[in-house]
Amino acid sequence: MPSKAVLVTAITVLSLGCGHESAATQQVRSAASVDLECDASQIEFVEDEPMEKRVTGCGRTLTYMYKCNPAPGGGQDCRWKPVRNENNKL
Higher pLDDT, 39 or 16: 39
| Average pLDDT, integer, range 61-80 | 94
| The predicted structure's pLDDT at residue 20 | 76
How high does pLDDT run on average in the chain? 82
Higher pLDDT, 88 or 19: 88
Burial bucket for residue 10 (CB in 10 Å: 0-12, 13-18, 19+): exposed
CA-wise closest residue to 23 among 81, 79, 83: 79
Spell out the domain ranges in the chain.
22-83
As a whole number of angstroms, the distance between CA 71 and CA 89 comes to: 32
Spatial contact of 60 and 89, defined as CB atoms under 8 Å apart: yes
* Percentage of residues in the chain having pLDDT higher than 70: 78
| The predicted structure's pLDDT at residue 85 | 75
Higher pLDDT, 7 or 80: 80
| The predicted structure's pLDDT at residue 46 | 94
